[in-house]
Amino acid sequence: MLRSLTIRDFVIVEKMELEFDAGFTVLTGETGAGKSILIDALALVLGARADALVVRQGAERAEVSAEFDVSTLKNVKKYIQKHELTDEGDACLVRRVIDAGGRSRAFINGTAATATQLRELGEMLVDIHGQHQHQSLARASAQRELIDAYGKLEAQAAKVAELHRDWRDKAERRRAFETNAAAYVAERERLEWQVNDLAQLDFKADEWPELTAEHSRLAHAASLIEAAEFGMETLSEGEGASLAQVNSVISRLKNLLDYDPKLKDVLEVLEPAQLQLQEAVYSLRHYQQKLDLDPKRLREAEHRLDAIHSVASKYRIEPEQLPEMLAKARARLDELSLAGDAAALKRHEEAAREACVAEAKKLSMARRKAAKQLTEKVTAAMQTLAMTGGVFDVALHALDEPAAHGLENIEFLVSAHKGMTPQPLAKVASGGELSRISLSIQTITSQVAQVPTLIFDEVDAGIGGRVAEIVGKLLKDLGKKHQVMCITHLPQVAACGDQQWQVAKSAGSGNNGKVASKVTVLDKTQRVEEIARMLGGVKITDTTRKHAAEMLKG
């Protein structure tokens, strides 16, 4: 819901900071006091078109910011994440600045944003009903979404969209093959030859380090054998061998330990060295026994290396990359095997289309049922809102081809008076009628409506008395499930509000004498006076006040 709205230098508003509550809030005041300016400011910060005329005379810029509680709005949080906007947790702050030259800047949670992003986000946060640009009922997509939400058909609609994507993907593959058939054949032939060439080599990823190590060992076998023999000769087998001399030193020192125990420290160093030298001799002897001059095996290893290097050079890659290249070539060949079968592609496309159409038909049946129910309920509600004989209808226009949203376009039609042919809602309804029809729809669909804040402007146009009281009660009921605000001139509507704001003009701050608009949150006594003013006009009597107090109690 909307938590706060801050306005600076906007039209006739110098500075205004408003805190909003849940429930039903009414905005009242004299004609021209600036009530609609608050709605215009909110529309501006939610992406409405802006120009320099909104900047208060003499000011450098106009600025509007609004803070929303989005703790329960998963769609808003997903939008913020998708567009990589700063995540402020349960709060969302939007801001719009218009300078005197008409240049506009927008921000979402402190991150620079476009007016389009403001508008898209705003459509999830606020719905303004009346003669304003920001109203969802004029959008065909919103009408369809409302029917799906009312009928609890979102999951079915999402499944149809998924099946439609699958069908279009398969159709695109088939068209791509038909357009590039020769190229597919050429690529398949090339890959078949390549896979055969690499498969014949039979080269595995783990072969390369083993093969290179073996080749190195075989190529230097003579030097390795000679080095092993030299090591054994020097350490243990030759005259003056190291191990024999170390043994002699250890034996002699042990014989002298009785004369000087400090020699024990030297022995503790030499004895481990003796053991290590012995281990080295054993290891060298074992190593030498396994070494062999094998010219035949050396030639085999060199031939294998040459073959691998030759193939790698042919494809201009490193030898280690050959197994990966073979795997990729086989995978691509599998794709082309399917893509290259025109008949199979066509079958798969047709099967996907049939699956999409079958699911879309189920969705259409459910939509017709939901549309019938909504038509009846909204038409009935219109009869109580000064539109006697009026009709609301939900038309389902069949499409020639299945679309991502189903087999039909949905359009809201209305005739506000008896005998009129229903026409598209946005074209035939006046501002007041549109607001009252919107009120009927929102009241009926309030259980499933996604937008948390609803604002109604001019819902009282052309009505009064009993109808005005009905409108007020409908708005109050709607305020139990949504945050609702209404600009009204009717005391019957104002008396139904959970809270009431009075908008009035006054002299601006300082000595400039410019007219400015201000808002006062009314307490109980002030509400009686304001409703009495709305009832009695210029002269307010005790009788008028008593009537106003009774209306507030009722």
pLDDT tens by residue, 98-110 = 999 889 999 999 9
Residue 346 is assigned to a structural domain of this protein: no
Residue 423 is assigned to a structural domain of this protein: no
Q: What pLDDT does 512 receive?
A: 58
End-to-end C-alpha distance for the chain, whole angstroms: 27
| Encoded amino acid at 441, one letter | I
The secondary element (H helix, E strand) that includes residue 385 is: none
DSSP string, 212-274: HHHHHHHHTHHHHHHHHHHHHIIIIISTT-HHHHHHHHHHHHHHTTTT-TTHHHHHHHHHHHH
Helix (H, G, I), strand (E, B) or coil at 66: strand
State both tokens at 344: 């199979």
Q: What pLDDT does 507 receive?
A: 63
Q: What mean pLDDT is predicted for residues 50-69?
A: 92
pLDDT at 422 over 80: yes
Q: What mean pLDDT is predicted for residues 504-517?
A: 65
Top mean pLDDT of 95-99, 188-192, 433-437 is at 95-99
In the chain, what are the helix, strand and coil shares in percent, each to the nearest 5? 55, 20, 25
- Residue 92's pLDDT band, with cuts at 50, 70 and 90, is very high
Least confident residue range of 5-19, 126-140, 330-344, 455-469? 126-140
pLDDT at 37 over 90: no
Cα→Cα distances 442→9, 435, 446, 484, Å: 33, 10, 5, 11
Residue 193 is assigned to a structural domain of this protein: yes
Between 552 and 283, the higher pLDDT residue: 552
| Residues with Cβ within 8 Å of residue 496, at least 6 apart in sequence | 24, 26, 469, 472, 473, 475, 476
Residue 354 is assigned to a structural domain of this protein: no
Do strands 499-507 and 24-28 pair parallel, antiparallel, or not at all (unpaired)? parallel
The answer to whether the CB of 254 falls within 8 A of the CB of 324 is no
Q: Which domain holds residue 315?
A: 187-338
pLDDT at 484 over 70: yes
pTM over 0.75: no
Residue 543 is assigned to a structural domain of this protein: no
pLDDT at 493 over 50: yes
Q: How many domains does the chain have?
A: 1
Residue 263 is assigned to a structural domain of this protein: yes
Residue 303 is assigned to a structural domain of this protein: yes
pLDDT at 221 over 70: no
Angle at which helix 322-339 crosses helix 154-179, to 10 degrees, equals 100
Least confident residue range of 179-183, 306-310, 469-473, 520-524? 179-183
The secondary element (H helix, E strand) that includes residue 377 is: helix 342-383
Helix (H, G, I), strand (E, B) or coil at 541: coil
Q: What pLDDT does 134 receive?
A: 43
Q: What pLDDT does 513 receive?
A: 58
Cα→Cα distances 198→189, 204, 323, 332, Å: 14, 10, 8, 15
CA 171 to chain centre: 27
Span 151-193, pLDDT tens digits: 999 999 999 999 999 999 999 988 887 777 667 777 778 888 8
Residue 199 is assigned to a structural domain of this protein: yes
Between 150 and 189, the higher pLDDT residue: 150
Give me the chain's average pLDDT, please: 84
